[in-house]
Structure 1
Amino acid sequence: MIPNQNGLRCKRALEKLHYQPPSAPLTILHADADLLVVDKPSGLLSVPGKAAEHADCLETRMRNIYPDTLLVHRLDMDTSGVMVFARNKSAQRHLGLQFEKRQMQKTYHAIVAGIVRDDTGLVDLPLIVDWPNRPLQKVDLETGKPAQTEWRVRSRSHNSTYVELYPKTGRSHQLRVHMLAIGHPILGDRFYGDSDVISRMDRLALHASMLRLRHPTGGAWCEFIAKSPF
């Protein structure tokens, strides 16, 4: 993808960005003395944006319910699914280290454009921010940071494929850029999709369906699932 195309995509996406976060009550998947797990809706920021109109976010809403909520990680605004928060500093450190050391197991569901021919595969392409067009990211074989995504086909239709994605790293926009790089952008992706890809879904067809982690107290494995909305 040449820079001009990236710039046009970014400009088009930002022009269409009118922040109208969903107002439905949050779905809390789990709550205990250390953890809070929630099914983040698509269209809601994970953390506050710089502009005053972007103050409403999942972190703020969670703190309105649980004042001790502490941020651990983020999902893109357009991505839905499982997000975990900590309820004390010790749990926050414990969970943060699990993310840093890539000990957590994550599964995403996505619908991508076109027919993916193979049943499984691995995308191993380094990524870096596309500075003139940030927040977009791009593949850069020389200076990009390592990024790997495993994938598996769940089903195929006449012009799209339902896939499961297993990120081995956690780069910004990793799944979106990796699917684009193999010729199958995620439907509804206003940052990386063309007009046809964007028009085929009323949201980004990317959902964090499962997160598996060790509990900060005791270390037992815990698995949290949020049913895919598409």
Structure 2
Amino acid sequence: MDPLRPTAPENACHPSGDRPETICVLGIGNVLWADEGFGVRCVEALQQRYEFASHVQLIDGGTQGLYLVQHVQQAGRLLIFDAIDYGLAPGELRRVENEDVPRFMGAKKMSLHQTGFQEVLMLALLTEKYPQEVLLVGCQPEEIEDYGGSLRPVVRQALEDALALGVDTLRRWGAQPAPRQRPLSEVESVTFAELALGRYESQRPGEDLACRTGDERFMPTREVS
């Protein structure tokens, strides 16, 4: 679990050498809860900025949990972006590798999606279909209790560092990242067009129209003395 330590380059082909192995890039989390959407925003930005070889899959894993198991089992190499409570300063990145990833994701869970994805990784281990190499790039969130909120500035800045680390890793894995020459259509995007970062932020209603803390009809009230 060495923080931000680069890994050595390896052959990115199956043992038979006949075809490239699948490289899976997963962003997990919930974009509706501010910094909880860090992982999804990383994958979204990667797809918008780069093109990759045909054996690379970019997936908005959201909070799908066990539904992601087939992608993990089919991957030769797996890159995960997520917001995880490490107990560090907001925006600080940590990288975790290989068999340490499922144990680390279960240590300090922030939400149910982390429980589900930990089970995905453990199932892949038990079925002996665990990727040859796994890298988790996690970010310490600043705020997750803001429904409809977006990434806080310190986490948005960390996203840029996480992308640089991810692209470097993918390049060494043989993913062939190259600056995108053609803009994406809404159909091609890994995230729903309605939840794309720019649209999500620009169309957020004000606090007078959308409660940020919960429905006051179901919140305890103070007695008036």
**Does TM, normalized by the shorter one, top 0.5?**
no
Structure holding more strand per residue = 1
Q: TM-score, normalised by structure 2?
A: 0.26
Which of the pair has the greater relative contact order for Cα pairs under 8 Å at 6+ separation? 2
Instruction: Give the structure with the higher percent helix.
Output: 2
